[in-house]
Amino acid sequence: MLPPFCMAKERNRQEIIRQCTRFVGGHYPVSPQQMLAELAAFTPPETRSDHYGAGELMASFEAEVAQLLGKETAVFMPSGTMAQQIALRIHANRSGNKTVAFHPTCHLEMHEQHAYRELHQLSGVLVGNPDYLMTLDDLKAVKVPIGTLLIELPQREIGGMLPSWEELTELVDYARGQGMAVHLDGARLWECQPFYKRPYAEICTLFDSVYVSFYKTLNGITGAMLLGERSLIDEAKVWQRRHGGNLIRMYPFVLSAKMGLEQHLPNMQAYYDKTVEIAAAISQIEGIELKPTVPHCNRLFVYFRRDSQRLNDAVLDIASETKTLLFHGTWPSLIPAYAMTELWFGNAALDLSTEEIADLFTELMRRSAELNFV
């Protein structure tokens, strides 16, 4: 439990953020009441609830996303953690090889308490440097037989970086040549299209199975989808039941996912273009560094040559005075004397000029300079 003075400070921070009306990062915040009201307006009156994954609402949405991503069929699931473990388990069962290769920053390795190992007895092999993209040479250097290769697009934990199309296809071609299944962690796949300038279906054609999220980027309540050929998805539905993920009703999640696709997918190019503009502007400010220097998608890491706590205090001061939240906070980075944050850009940034955003970051650096490292 936080000590009283920390609790009071946190309450003050939350109150300042609640009063903000303008936001640099992400989408405009939506309260539960707003979300439910939007869903009610979005939902045709004749819509009927799903029932244990069956019904027209679920079937039509799964077919819509499968067509968009160029896959035979799909199944909606309550979480990506569930969807990916199921996909990897099926690939392992089919090949007889339980070894899965992925980048050291893979979500399965960092954020799921090694559920792939504890629940499904899969063996993970970390491939490449945690600070850089996986390369073909990294994959060739693995000395144990691999059953499945997992590739994340974009890689959130290294600033939303993406391999070039040539690098990606080389990885996939090599993996297939070695008899591996290839799975896409596409939690934020929606952010990739402006970089590759190819239809989502063409990107997903490279993969045997694809997972996408509907709350990341698209602002849905929750929910994920696993896509692939029909026999794989039929097996996945059995595993979904075993995982307790075949809920009696999921229509609020499905409707919010469908609404998120309609609201945000047409704007992904605009979000990306705004990100590139902002990155170019704030990279000119002394003491700020970016990773990557030119964004690959609508997210990136920002490094400040400042003390983290001083930066966080300055963010709240600016928010209190201007009702504009730059970001939620920073943390110390592995680079000496630098703090960092992750920024991703959605509909909120489109209502602010890039010049004003750059001015706000300049003011942030000025206010936080008192404890600057030398």
User: Along the 374 residues of the chain, how does pLDDT read in single tens digits?
Assistant: 556 556 677 889 999 999 999 999 999 999 999 999 999 999 999 999 999 999 999 999 999 999 999 999 999 999 999 999 999 999 999 999 999 999 999 999 999 999 999 999 999 999 999 999 999 999 999 999 999 999 999 999 999 999 999 999 999 999 999 999 999 999 999 999 999 999 999 999 999 999 999 999 999 999 999 999 999 999 999 999 999 999 999 999 999 999 999 999 999 999 999 999 999 999 999 999 999 999 999 999 999 999 999 999 999 999 999 999 999 999 999 999 999 999 999 999 999 999 999 999 999 999 999 654 44
Which ranges of the chain does DSSP label H, i.e. alpha helix?
4-18, 32-42, 56-69, 80-95, 107-110, 115-118, 136-140, 165-177, 193-196, 200-204, 230-242, 251-264, 268-282, 308-322, 354-367
219: left (phi over 0), alpha (psi -120 to 50) or beta: left
How many domains, the chain?
2
The pLDDT, as a whole number, for residue 4 is 59
The pLDDT, as a whole number, for residue 16 is 96
Q: Does one domain contain both 45 and 182?
A: yes
Indicate whether 254 belongs to any domain.
no
Query: What is d(CA 374, CA 279) in angstroms, rounded to the nearest whole number?
Result: 25
Query: What is d(CA 327, CA 25) in angstroms, rounded to the nearest whole number?
Result: 6
Range of the domain at 15: 4-29+266-371
For residue 160 the two structure tokens come to 């939303």
Indicate whether 252 belongs to any domain.
no
| Beta strands at 224-228 and 73-77: parallel, antiparallel or unpaired | antiparallel
Q: Does one domain contain both 170 and 203?
A: yes
The pLDDT, as a whole number, for residue 11 is 83
Q: Does one domain contain both 127 and 225?
A: yes
Q: Which CATH number is 18's domain given?
A: 3.90.1150.10
150: β partners: 183
The pLDDT, as a whole number, for residue 372 is 47
Q: Does one domain contain both 13 and 112?
A: no
Q: Does one domain contain both 48 and 23?
A: no
Indicate whether 285 belongs to any domain.
yes
Peptide bond into 194 cis (omega under 30): no
Write out the H or E segment, with its range, that includes residue 164: none
Indicate whether 216 belongs to any domain.
yes
Write out 286-327 in H/E/C secondary structure: CCEEEECCCCCCCEEEEEECCCHHHHHHHHHHHHHHHCEECC
Q: Does one domain contain both 19 and 58?
A: no
Indicate whether 261 belongs to any domain.
no
Q: Does one domain contain both 189 and 279?
A: no
Q: Does one domain contain both 18 and 45?
A: no
The pLDDT, as a whole number, for residue 66 is 98
Query: Residue 217: which of 195, 194, 187 has the closest Cα?
Result: 187
Query: What is d(CA 221, CA 32) in angstroms, rounded to the nearest whole number?
Result: 9
Indicate whether 317 belongs to any domain.
yes
Q: Does one domain contain both 163 and 222?
A: yes
For residue 51 the two structure tokens come to 């029932």
Query: Residue 277: which of 14, 10, 24, 19 has the closest Cα?
Result: 24
The pLDDT, as a whole number, for residue 203 is 98
Indicate whether 259 belongs to any domain.
no
Q: Does one domain contain both 174 and 311?
A: no
Indicate whether 257 belongs to any domain.
no
155: β partners: 161
Q: Quick one: CA torsion of 193, 229, 222, 56, rounded to 10 degrees?
A: 110
The pLDDT, as a whole number, for residue 10 is 82
Q: Does one domain contain both 136 and 158?
A: yes
